[in-house]
Amino acid sequence: MKHVTALENLTTAVLMTDLELCVHYLNPAAETLLDISADRAHGMCLEKLLPHADHLIEGLRKAARTGGAYTEREISIDFPGNRELIASCTVTPISDRGRAPGLLLELVELNRQLRMLREEHLLRQQKATQAMLRALAHEVKNPLGGLRGAAQLLQLELDDPELREYTRIIIREADRLRKLMDRILGPNSRPQIAVMCIHEVLEHVRSLLAAEAPHGVRIDHDYDPSIPFMRGDRDLLVQAALNIARNALQAVGHTGVILVRTRIARQRTFNHQRHRLAIKIDIVDDGPGIPPEMREHIFFPMITGRAEGAGLGLSIAQHLISQHEGVIECESRPGCTEFTILLPLGNGVSKTGSWSQ
């Protein structure tokens, strides 16, 4: 029992198999790394769990046959959905009174340190972005005030009820935009937290996106129904996910596939904190990818690859997710761009929520 508890708390991914390479155990770090639950993986052969790792499987079979240890300093494992894992691997035979009933496999993600360095960079970007967006909000609100004042003066000069209705629309919309700028970008803005289902948020985003998408674009979903309710600001999360999804829609053009996926992430570190559980939202498109020279700067305001774009969508999304103590990550190559939103599941989460269709 003590050994199992120790394995559960390790940040290294640990798997145990029998000599036929059937999985008997995954610790939480392995569940996160391989994107599969321990219950689902139990009894699964490693060839199925790691379908494109022939060299690794061959080494494991040799270790099972000879009872010797096996080490790979750098291996590449491809997963469905164009996900690639680069890791080091150590295999140790498990002996019990002279017998070798199985293997213990340790996987250490080599790009984990790179991801942590990238997060540090993103946090620095985030601070600069927030300052710039607040300055931008101030500049936008000034002409809105002038527009509203001019509409009020014009309203006093008009006798025609229809024309006065137009000025009322101008005043109402100017007020709405000012409130929106205050809520999203204001220096003292706070999310309006309530218990909510993240899948309802994402389904709303999918419906909005479907209304904008050309006929040749398919918007799929793959939800984990075990994800519980969370606490968050529904409107802000809709806006954040919609900004990312619209970015994907613009990337695929007239034909392509956008996937909205949810999973539970375990033992993840972001924003300098270790989170036992987090909601992981992936928005994946099969577009041409983000140019390498832009990848480090995509969350800065005014950075865009489109002539008609303002370059604010991802900056605002990052700001809104940071208000929920979350983070946005991005991986991109030709044919697959994946934005990942990580939101912590804390003590305030309702355990009664689920999603079914």
Question: Which residue(s) pair with 26 in the sheet?
Answer: 15
Q: What's the rounded Cα separation, in Å, for the pair 115 and 126?
A: 16
194-344 folds as: Heat Shock Protein 90 (3.30.565)
Residue 213 CA, chain-centre distance (Å), reads 22
Write down the pLDDT at residue 352. Answer: 41
> Hey, which residues does 52 pair with through a beta bridge?
78
Can you state the percent helix, strand and coil of the chain, rounding each to 5?
45, 30, 25
- Of 44-48, 120-124, 137-141, the range with the lowest mean pLDDT is 120-124
| Mean pLDDT for the chain overall | 81
Percent of the chain clearing pLDDT 70 (strictly above): 79
The reported pLDDT for the residue numbered 310 is 44
- For 152-202, how does the pLDDT look when each residue is reduced to its tens digit (9 = 90+)? 999 999 888 888 898 998 998 888 778 767 766 665 567 889 999 999 999
Running DSSP on this structure, what letter comes out for residue 22? B
Q: What's the half-sphere exposure (Cβ side, CA atoms, 13 Å) at 148?
A: 14
Global pTM reads 0.58
| Other Cβ atoms closer than 10 A to 332 | 20
- State residue 288's pLDDT score: 93
DSSP per residue over 90-119, as a string?
A: EEEEEEETTEEEEEEEEEEETTHHHHHHHH
With a CB cutoff of 8 Å and minimum separation 6, the contacts of 185 are 133, 134, 136, 137, 316, 319
Q: Is 211 left (phi over 0), alpha (psi -120 to 50) or beta?
A: alpha
pLDDT band at 238 (very low <50, low <70, confident <90, very high): very high
3-class DSSP state of 328: strand
> pLDDT-based confidence at 52, cuts 50/70/90?
confident
Residue-wise pLDDT for 77-119, tens only, equals 777 655 677 788 888 888 765 555 789 999 888 766 566 666 6
Residue whose token pair is 């029998």? 18
The CATH classification number of 2-110 equals 3.30.450.20
CB 19 within 8 A of CB 12: no
Identity of the residue numbered 227: I
Average pLDDT over residues 10-39: 88
Separation between Cα atoms, residue 229 and residue 37, nearest integer Å:
19
Instruction: Place 217 in a pLDDT band, splitting at 50, 70 and 90.
Output: very high
User: C-alpha 204: how far from its chain's center?
Assistant: 17
Q: What is the pLDDT of residue 342?
A: 94
What is the rounded distance in angstroms from the CA atom of residue 313 to the CA atom of residue 354?
30
Task: Check pLDDT > 70 for residue 45.
Answer: yes
Burial of 209 (0-12, 13-18, 19+ CB in 10 A): buried
